[in-house]
Amino acid sequence: MEWWHIGILMFSSLFFLLILGIPVAFGLVSVALFIILFIWGPTGLLTLAANSFSSLTNYLLLAAPLFIFMGISIEVSGLAEDAFKAIENWLGRVRGSLAICTVTAATIFGAATGFSGTGSAAFGPVVLPEMARRKYDPGLALGAMGGGSALGVLIPPSVPLLMYGFLSGESISKLFLAGVIPGIVGSFIFMAYISIRTRLNPNLAPLGQVAPWREAIANTWRILPLFILILLVLGSLWGGMATPTEAAALGAFGALLMVIFYGRFKWHTLKHIMIRTVEINSMVFAIIIGAFAFTQMLSYTGFVTKFSALVANLPVPPWFIIVLMMVVNIFLGCFLDTMAIFFLTLPIYLPVVSTLGYDLIWFAILMTINSEIGALTPPVGIGLYIIKAVSPKEWSFATAIRGVAPYWFLYLLLLVLIGLIPSIALWLPKHM
């Protein structure tokens, strides 16, 4: 069989299994097993097992469960409500202040935990009922929650950027630096959108409430340990004092201390943190094994090298190929989560991007933003299901889709900005 025959067979088989409802990790492994048995027979299974196991022995991957542990510990510490109150206190009588506060707080919280969904899961039960009580438009409320929490994965520490570094070999500290300015720019775009929209249509949101200075300062002091923890983790990493794994361990330990400090530590709480960490980490590592087996078969059959050479030599401008990759990933995001997209596409994309002469750190930010568009896109978009699960019962799933729809275009705007002005992502890595 020709290399492109095998590629078509593997990808079509994978999408067929996904349509049947097979989990991504099992679908990837199943297709890889079929190709091995078809080409090499049973003897190839030993090689697949050995290589798949070796893919998990990379020291860098130890950082993933530690950052996950850190994120879940912060989630159960009760800081979500404190962070929300602190930011709302400082906004004062701004129309739509709760929605703006939601974007800001969910972004900060998503950054602290490393995953986009944790911001919605932590803030949703606190913020959305309050928005309903104050007569906010349901679509505006759900959109702010989904858009803000998805933006959090750009701001370090970010598990998707950690995995990109594992796959590409790029510096984790530089990848984390590259996400800071795009994340801040994105949050300002979202806040500007909410402010403009509520000014044009005041019925969407009421004016904010003014809090006494003493209350605002007290609430800000309560969330100070969260910022100290983030600075310690990132400072130790950027200052060269710790490896990514050691910085993650510091963050996990510090987050557990915060749970104790805020009086939330109980044995059943620790059990919950450990079980959630194992569940999420098992999902991530299962995808890693499945994607490694899948892409390994693509490499062995010559698909990756020949397809990369074919794409790099197409008679089109290099930027058109990058745009095409982004379009493909937006489509994949309708069916796959961020980890699956990264491990499935990056082994194919990275050689092409490198051959075209583009910066791989810049491309990492494009990939991360792109994946978050998928997290808010039906039918699979996990972000949509999270915000619906934590919203008032009378708010429908259709309302959630209507609410996040403008954020698809705002994310595309951010994607275009970074594509046209790479220094937004590359300035910090080059100067620090």
Per residue in 351-406, pLDDT (tens digit) is 899 988 999 999 999 999 988 887 788 766 777 777 877 788 888 888 888 899 99
Residue 210 pLDDT greater than 80, yes or no? no
pLDDT for position 415:
94
Locate the DSSP E strands across 121-221: none
| Cα-to-chain-centroid distance, residue 51 | 27
pLDDT for position 253:
92
pLDDT for position 212:
72
pLDDT for position 80:
66
Mean pLDDT of 72-85: 75
Mean residue pLDDT of the chain comes to 83
pLDDT for position 340:
81
Give start and end residues of each alpha helix (H) in 55-137.
63-76, 79-91, 97-113, 117-133
Six-digit token string for 213: 């200075």
Count Cβ neighbours within 10 Å for each residue of 396-427 and write b for 16 or more, e otherwise: eeebbbbbbebbeebbeebbebbbeebebbbe
Determine how many CB atoms are found less than 10 A away from the CB of residue 389: 13
Contact 109, 120 (CB under 8 A): no
Contact 312, 352 (CB under 8 A): yes
* Residue 164 or 380, more confident: 164
pLDDT for position 225:
82
pLDDT for position 186:
92
Alpha-carbon distance of 98 to 88, in angstroms, equals 7
Percent of the chain as helix, strand, coil, to the nearest 5 = 80, 0, 20
pLDDT for position 321:
92
* Residue 426 or 296, more confident: 426
* Residue 97 or 420, more confident: 420
Q: What are the pLDDT digits (tens) for 179-205?
A: 989 998 999 999 999 999 998 998 888
| Cα separations in angstroms, 199 against 80, 196, 298, 392, 402 | 27, 5, 53, 25, 19
pLDDT for position 96:
80
Q: Which helix (H) or strand (E) holds 261?
A: helix 244-261
pLDDT for position 197:
92
pLDDT for position 309:
80
Mean pLDDT of 232-245: 83
Ranked by mean pLDDT, the top range of 229-233, 290-294, 323-327, 339-343 is 323-327
| Cα-to-chain-centroid distance, residue 408 | 15
Contact 110, 148 (CB under 8 A): yes
Tell whether pTM > 0.85.
no
Contact 294, 31 (CB under 8 A): yes
Residue 317 pLDDT greater than 80, yes or no? yes
Mean pLDDT of 310-331: 87
Angle at 63 (CA atoms; ends 229, 118), nearest 5 degrees? 60
pLDDT for position 388:
79
pLDDT confidence of 156, banded at 50, 70, 90? confident
Alpha-carbon distance of 291 to 298, in angstroms, equals 10
Residue 101 pLDDT greater than 70, yes or no? yes
Mean pLDDT of 226-239: 82
Determine how many CB atoms are found less than 10 A away from the CB of residue 135: 10
Six-digit token string for 322: 């990058």
Alpha-carbon distance of 186 to 193, in angstroms, equals 11
Alpha-carbon distance of 264 to 74, in angstroms, equals 10
Alpha-carbon distance of 195 to 132, in angstroms, equals 18
Residue 414 pLDDT greater than 70, yes or no? yes
Q: Exposed/middle/buried for 272, CB within 10 Å: 0-12, 13-18, 19+? A: middle
Q: Looking at 273-277, 306-310, 365-369, 405-409, which range is the least confident one? A: 306-310
Mean pLDDT of 214-231: 77
Residues 6+ apart with CB under 8 A from 81: 126
Residue 420 pLDDT greater than 80, yes or no? yes
Mean pLDDT of 95-120: 72
pLDDT confidence of 112, banded at 50, 70, 90? low
